[in-house]
Structures are given as C-alpha cells and as structure tokens.
Amino acid sequence: MSLRLRLTILYSALTGGILLVFGMLIFFLVSVLLVNQVDNILTAAAREVLGRVRFNTYGRLSLSEFLRSDLMAGVSVLLLNEQGEIEYDSTFILDPETPFETNNLQKRRQEFSSVYIEGFHLRVLNIPLKVGARQVGTLQLAYNTSNLSATRQALLQVIIIAALTSTLVAAAASWLSLDRALSPLAAVTETAMQITHADDLSRRIPLEGLANDEIGRLVAAFNETLERLERLFNSQQRFLADVSHELRTPLTVIKGNVALMRKIGVTDTDLLAGIEEESDRLTRLVVNLLLEAQAESGKLPLHFAALELDTLLLEVLNEMRVLARDRVRLRITEIDQVLVNGDRDRLEQVFINLISNAIKYTPAGGTVFIGLAKVGENARVIVRDTGVGISKKDLPHIFERFYRAEKSRSRAVDSGFGLGLSISQWIITHHGGRIEVNSVEGKGTTFLIYLPLLKAETASPAGQAA
C-alpha cells in the first residue's frame, strides 16, 4: 500500500472517529438533559396532584378538585387502587383501560421509567400512595416524549451524516494535498533511478518551487550527497588516470635504460641512476597508496607514546636540508620543548610531507620557515613558505584524496600523487589535533598543525600563547 493511501486512510479515519466520538458525547448529553427536564416537569406535576388525592372510607381514591391543565403542562395522571385498577384518569394520551406501566406498581419507592406503548414514547413517574404504613394505591404521571425521541433520532442522524461527510472530505483533501506534498519524493526516486540506469552522477533534483520543509531539506541533502559522490567519483577517475600515467612513465624510463645498456653492452652509471630514481618513485607511490588504503579502511595502526616533538622536527629538518640544497633556505623561527602523545613514525611522515611540499612548491631563492610553540593546551607547528601558493579554487580541496592543484599536476618530474595531505590530515585528526592552511597565490602558503600537549605539558594559556 502506498504511503499516500496509508496517510489518507489514517487522516480520514482520525477525522471521522474524532467527530463520531464527540457527536456521540453530545448526543448522550442532550438525551440526559432532555430526560432530566421531563423528570423535573413530572416531579412538579406530582407535587400538584399529591395535594389533591383523597382516600375515602370505602377505600376509593379520588381527586378533591380538577387539575388545571396549565399547571399540569401536558402531564397525564392515573390514580390506581391497591389492585392496580384505574380510579381516576386525566389522560389525554391513551385509552384509559390500562396503567401506563405495571413493573413498578409494587415498588415502595417512587420510580421513573421510560416505556413505549401504543405507538407512544412515555416517561412515567410511579409514586406509591400510603396511608400510614399501608399502600392504598399508586399515582402514575406520564409525559409524552415522542417528539423528544424524534428530535434525538434526528440529532443522531445529523451526527452520523456529519461524521461520514467529514470523513469523505478529509479523505479527498488528504489525497489531493498529499499528492502535492509527496510529488517531490517521486522526483527523488525517479532521479535516483535515472542515475542508476544512466550512470550519470551529474543529475540533480530541481529545488525550485519546493518549500523549506522536510521534503525540501531532503531534496537539498540528496543533491548535496550527489554533489559529493560526483566529486569523489571524478577524483577517483582522475586518480586512476594519474596512477596509470605515473606508473607508465617510470616503467618506460626503466625499460628504455635497460634496453640501452643491453645495446651498448656496458653498465652505465647514469642509466643506472635513472633506473634507481624511477624505482624510488614507484616505491613511494605504492607505499602512499597502501597507507591511504589502510587509513581509509581504518586499519592504519597508530602506536602512541610520549614524544619530544622538537627533537623529531629537528631530525626531519636535517633530512630536508638535502632536498632543499642551496635552492631554498630552511629557517627555524622558534622551537619550544614540547611533549605530545603520538606515533613517532606517522608524525615524522606528516612533517616530511609538509616541509617537502613547501620546498617543492617554492622557487629557487625562496625560504621555508618552520616553528614549534606551545599555544594553550596545544603544540603548534607552523610550516610557511614563500612559494607559488594555492589558488582559491584549489584551496578547499587540497586535503581531498588524489587532489592535485592544476599547476602541480603538470610538474611531471617531482610531482606527488595528491595523497600526502589527505594522509597527513588523517594522522593529525587521529591524534586529536587539527591541520589548517592559509595561502595567497604567488606569495606563499602556511600550514598550521595543532596537537594536544601531554597532560603534564599543558602550559598556562596566557604564558605561552604566541
């Protein structure tokens, strides 16, 4: 059963049910009030009559004076003797041969009852007449409630018809409004199916005309998911193309060098160096891919221990001097003694990645500044360069897997694979820290890493903040 049909049935059943319950309540309330009113009339009339009832020495019952019809307000009176025979009858209603009712004749208390005789609905008040302790007869007063019964009947019909009509109206209204409200969902389904069938992630569900309600937000969220999926899908495709290219280039060089050496029949050191360089590049690619896959599947183990970050950073800097040679200057701006809880090898990898990127993307004569300080409860590492910078377009994406800025993609020789920053970010966030970047194209780039200090290391925020 469709959601639309289910909701329509639910709404209309609720509307009809609620109306019916309220209608019934009103019906019973009105009935009770009407009966009460009639009972009051009967009680008032009984008072009038009781004052006039006489019991003579022959044991007969009679009334001392006539009953005035204005006082009786439509109430009929029967006086019955001990045997239940009629002694007096003022009835305007019935053929006066039988009592209004016989069930309560023997009762010793006055009783109200409702009876239906000869086509009339009567409300009857039965009052035992006593002389001393002896019951000498019964006074019966009756009020014709046939009109009231007809009114109640009509009320009941109105209630049932109103409940049925509103159920139908509610059903029609729900059916139509749900069609409007749920139609975007049909669009979502259709788009999802189209995407599946046509393998086309670029489709979006139009947001125009949709209210900012649950469905509008669902569609917006769905579009965002598609956007992300499309980006991811594109970057993976690009990555596959890149990896194939990256693999092919060094393999071609290696194969070419080997072929050349075979041809000339001697082992040439330059050709061997070329083979070694390309093999190193291949190894780097494979290692990075493996790391990325492990991080992605959550299987990259981190071995935490107390770690002197300043010592580690200085070690990395010494390694990096080889890479920088005389081309780029490496400067330390400040270096505090800092203890963190971290995985030495992984953090070393992060620093190598950031500093080698800084060197790589800084033209000859530029400078890379490195600093380590305590800031509040964190250690802050700054790697700033005076290099090519990152464009505004690329900046939001550089931590994405396989993302490489257009400029760096063309740098065939020492370009990376767009994996370093995404792995670095994974490592830093899994240390409870964060990594930030600021960059101005053509001026330079600054990477900031914040890592929580070891508890005993936490400096007073005012003291060390730089």
358 sits near ligand ADP (criterion: CB under 6 A): yes
For 320-344, the DSSP string reads HHHHHTTTSEEEEEEE---EEEE-H
418 sits near ligand ADP (criterion: CB under 6 A): yes
The CB-nearest residue to ligand ADP is 416
> String of b and e for 294-304 (b: at least 16 CB within 10 Å)?
ebeeeebeeee
Q: Are 39 and 125 in contact (CB under 8 A)?
A: yes
Q: Are 166 and 41 in contact (CB under 8 A)?
A: no
Which H helix or E strand runs over 137?
A: strand 134-144
351 sits near ligand ADP (criterion: CB under 6 A): no
357 sits near ligand ADP (criterion: CB under 6 A): yes
Which range of residues in 45-53, 95-103, 239-247, 352-360 is near ligand ADP by CB under 6 A?
352-360
445 sits near ligand ADP (criterion: CB under 6 A): yes
The burial of 464, by beta-carbon neighbours within 10 Å (0-12 exposed, 13-18 middle, 19 or more buried), is given as middle
140 sits near ligand ADP (criterion: CB under 6 A): no
Q: What is the 3-state secondary structure (H, E, C) of 51-93?
A: CCEEECCCCCEEECCCCCHHHHCCEEEEEEECCCCEEEECCCC
Rounded CA-CA distance 190/212 in Å is 21
| Cβ 12 to ligand ADP shortest distance, Å | 59
- The residue among 103 and 438 lying less far from ligand ADP, judged by its C-beta, is 438
Among 99, 137, 420, 433, which residue sits at the site for ligand ADP (rule: CB under 6 A)? 420
Rounded CA-CA distance 18/14 in Å is 6
Among 281, 374, 404, 431, which residue sits at the site for ligand ADP (rule: CB under 6 A)? 404
**Nearest CA-CA partner of 441 in 409, 395, 372, 375:** 395
Rounded CA-CA distance 259/236 in Å is 34
**The tokens of 102 are what?**
């016989």
Q: Are 109 and 119 in contact (CB under 8 A)?
A: no
Which range of residues in 68-76, 169-177, 369-377, 396-404 is near ligand ADP by CB under 6 A?
396-404
Among 250, 371, 387, 433, which residue sits at the site for ligand ADP (rule: CB under 6 A)? 387
- The residue among 321 and 411 lying less far from ligand ADP, judged by its C-beta, is 411
246 sits near ligand ADP (criterion: CB under 6 A): no
- The residue among 24 and 448 lying less far from ligand ADP, judged by its C-beta, is 448
99 sits near ligand ADP (criterion: CB under 6 A): no
353 sits near ligand ADP (criterion: CB under 6 A): yes
- The residue among 162 and 243 lying less far from ligand ADP, judged by its C-beta, is 243
191 sits near ligand ADP (criterion: CB under 6 A): no
Residue ranges binding ligand ADP (CB under 6 A) = 353, 357-358, 361, 385, 387-390, 398, 403-405, 408, 415-422, 445
